[in-house]
Amino acid sequence: MIEVKDIKKRFGRKQVLRGASFTAEKGEITCLIGVNGVGKTTILNAIMALTPINSGEILIDGKKLTKDTFEKITFIPDAITMLPQMRIADAMEFMRDYYKSWNQKRADDMLGFFKLKKEDRISDLSKGNTAKVNLLLGLALDVDYVLMDEPFSGIDIFSREQIAEVFTSHLIEDRGVIITTHEIHDIEHLIDKVVLLDEGVILREFNVEEVRETEGKSVVDVMREVFHS
Amino acid sequence: MKYLKLVNFEINRFFKLYMVLVGMVIVSQIAGVIVESRSFIKEANMTIRELGLTYTSYAEDYGSLSLGSIMRSGWFVLPIALCIAGLSFYVFFIWYRDWFGKNTFVYRLLMLPTARLNIYFAKATTIFISVLGLVGLQLLLLPIENKLFRSLVPVDLRHDAPMSELFTFFDGLGIIIPAHLSTFIIHYGIGFMIVFIIFTAILFERSYRLKGIVFGGLYCVIALGIFLLPFIIVIYQEKMYLYPNEMFG
């Protein structure tokens, strides 16, 4: 389980996170929803220790992050984190070199699924294909948790469908996923849990299925209720 | 292990630019020896023919050519200066290249399952290896250039100097390739220390942006202050606790 406990973060005079707390379970897809600039990416960065937090605590399976945690959790940012001059094959080799959890077979499977060519240079890829490579590099790691920052932003409809398909496949199964988005439509049917964020605080945290059954509301209904109140 | 992989990775990233520097040094210095020797001989031959002199009497009247004087020319000084400038630039670029552009590669580096200090040391090691590589290249080139010089300029027209003397012909080279091991260690120790200080200041800036520039600047001033402490003590106390050689550092 990933536990985010009362984290606060300030950038200069701007207080981005004002004591945000939520949890994300293994085997569930947790979606962080909020408009741009409410601190979604900052939370993911904080979980990965890519930005220092001013206060609060983040635990992964009950422990604070260490270098070994990076074999258990991976982050797929909204831009690819590989050198543009690398070929897809080089990027995969880089990952294989450094991560014990790298699963080459799974990487090859995904390469086929996304119809990507190993010898293509990252800088020559379309936006959609760059996003797919980015996803591949993260998901081919045998890790327990995957964080994804806006995996659907700015890419074409067919790539979005393909990426959404990944969520229903064995690639995601059994893992704990935290995904941020401000467009819920692509994945509404896939997610287990929603965390609504506004101005650095969690407005509501709920189980999608539960709310659907007990209150008869969809994610968008709840969002409308929370954000418009 | 991951540290060595990172060093290898960083060196590969710098390799092309580094080879340009290496190529430039080799081409410019060898060309310098050839061009300067030829033009000297051409001039000497003309004068000799006009005045009916011998090589020996020409050398007595007009002076002979030494490799040292070629080494003081732009053919030698410029590529060395460019290498220093290139490496100094790379001390900054080695970090900033990971942040700038569309691809924030630094995220990948910071998420590697290894101590983040390894990234710092791998980048520092890359700079050190590059610097020492260029020094090594200069040491290899000098005897070759000396041989070439001897083969081009007749014995009566040249002034031969032993290798050790060659280094003193050109002041800059004395700093780059000192005559004593202790001086070498001191010069490069200071150089590498400065690289560490700059690296740390860069990381202050990258971590805390505007505030980081202030922290980084303060850190540099304090570090420099500690280095200069022996001099500061001398100025204020007018007492020498250390030998000049130890103080020069």
Based on the structure, what is the number of domains in chain B? 2
> Residue B249 pLDDT more than 50?
no
Query: Chain B residues with CB inside 8 Å of A68's CB?
Result: 113
Q: Which of A67, A94, A149 is most worth mutating to test chain B (most B CB atoms within 10 A of its CB)?
A: A67
- B201/B247 same-domain check: yes
Cβ contact A81–B108 (<8 Å): yes
Query: Chain A residues with CB inside 8 Å of B104's CB?
Result: 77, 79, 81
Cβ contact A50–B110 (<8 Å): yes
> Residue B171 pLDDT more than 70?
no
Alpha-carbon gap: B193 to the closest alpha carbon of chain A (Å)? 27
> Residue A31 pLDDT more than 70?
yes
- B206/B96 same-domain check: no
Alpha-carbon gap: B125 to the closest alpha carbon of chain A (Å)? 19
pLDDT digits (tens, 9 = 90+) for B77-115: 999 999 999 999 999 999 999 998 766 899 999 999 999
- B161/B212 same-domain check: no
Q: How much is the mean pLDDT over chain A?
A: 92
For chain B, say whether A79 makes contact (Cβ under 8 Å). Answer: yes
DSSP string over A58-98? EEETTB---GGGGGTEEEE-SS--S-TTSBHHHHHHHHHHH
DSSP code for B156: G
Q: CA-CA distance, B103 to A91, in Å (whole number)?
A: 13
Q: Which of A10, A45, A65, A97 is most worth mutating to test chain B (most B CB atoms within 10 A of its CB)?
A: A97
How does residue A36 score in pLDDT terms, banded at 50, 70 and 90?
A: confident
- Identify which of B9, B113, B210 has the shortest CB distance to residue A70: B113
Which residues fall within 8 angstroms of residue B140, CB to CB, at 6 or more apart?
none
Asked if the ipTM is above 0.95, the reply is: no
Q: CA-CA distance, B176 to B166, in Å (whole number)?
A: 13
Q: Which of B103, B117, B207, B209 is most worth mutating to test chain A (most A CB atoms within 10 A of its CB)?
A: B103
Task: Kindly report the three-state secondary structure assignment for every residue of A112-125.
Answer: HHCCCCCCCEHHHC
Alpha-carbon gap: B112 to the closest alpha carbon of chain A (Å)? 6
Q: Which residue from A143, A136, A160, A17 is spatially nearest to A71, judged by alpha carbons?
A: A143
Q: In one letter, which amino acid is B159?
A: H
Q: Which residue from A182, A81, A65, A196 is spatially nearest to A133, judged by alpha carbons?
A: A81
pTM for the full predicted model: 0.90
B196 and B179 Cβ atoms separated by less than 8 Å: no
Q: How much is the pLDDT for B246? A: 67
For chain B, say whether A62 makes contact (Cβ under 8 Å). Answer: no
> Residue B248 pLDDT more than 60?
no
Q: What is the dihedral of CA A153, A158, A159, A163, to 10 degrees?
A: 90
For chain B, say whether A112 makes contact (Cβ under 8 Å). Answer: no
Please give the structure tokens belonging to residue B170.
């050109």
Query: What are the two backbone dihedrals, phi and then psi, of residue A173, each rounded to the nearest 5 degrees?
Result: -45, 140
Cβ contact B103–A99 (<8 Å): no
- B118/B214 same-domain check: no
Q: How much is the pLDDT for B169? A: 59
- B165/B202 same-domain check: no
Q: In the listed set B145, B177, B209, which residue is the last one of a domain according to the structure?
A: B177
Please give the structure tokens belonging to residue A152.
């659907």
Domain residues for the domain of B82 are 2-177
pLDDT digits (tens, 9 = 90+) for B43-78: 999 999 998 888 889 988 898 999 988 988 999 999
pLDDT digits (tens, 9 = 90+) for B221-242: 999 999 888 888 888 877 767 7
- Identify which of A75, A83, A98 has the shortest CB distance to residue B113: A98
- Identify which of B103, B113, B114 has the shortest CB distance to residue A79: B103
Query: Chain B residues with CB inside 8 Å of A98's CB?
Result: 2, 5, 112-114
- B123/B205 same-domain check: no
For chain B, say whether A134 makes contact (Cβ under 8 Å). Answer: no
| Nearest Cα residue in chain B from A47 | B111
Cβ contact A67–B113 (<8 Å): yes
Q: Which of B10, B98, B107, B109 is most worth mutating to test chain A (most A CB atoms within 10 A of its CB)?
A: B107
- B154/B193 same-domain check: no
Provide residues of B within 8 Å CB-CB of chain A. Answer: 2, 5, 9, 13, 101-105, 107-108, 110-116, 207, 210
Q: CA-CA distance, B153 to B159, in Å (whole number)?
A: 10
The CATH number fitting domain A2-227, selected from 3.40.50.720, 1.20.58.340, 3.40.50.300, 3.90.180.10 = 3.40.50.300
Domain ranges of chain A: 2-227
Q: In the listed set B123, B155, B177, which residue is the last one of a domain according to the structure?
A: B177
Interface A-B: count of C-beta contacts within 8 A: 55
Q: In the listed set B177, B211, B241, which residue is the last one of a domain according to the structure?
A: B177
- B116/B212 same-domain check: no
Interval A204-209 mean pLDDT: 94
Query: Chain B residues with CB inside 8 Å of A75's CB?
Result: 107, 111
- B32/B106 same-domain check: yes
CA R_g for chain B? 24
Structure-model confidence comparison of residues A164 and A90, the more confident one = A90
- B65/B98 same-domain check: yes
Q: CA-CA distance, B226 to B247, in Å (whole number)?
A: 12
Classify residue B18 by burial, with Cβ atoms within 10 Å: 0-12, 13-18, 19+: buried
> Residue B202 pLDDT more than 50?
yes
- B99/B129 same-domain check: yes
Query: Chain A residues with CB inside 8 Å of B210's CB?
Result: 12
Alpha-carbon gap: A200 to the closest alpha carbon of chain B (Å)? 20
Q: CA-CA distance, A169 to A172, in Å (whole number)?
A: 6
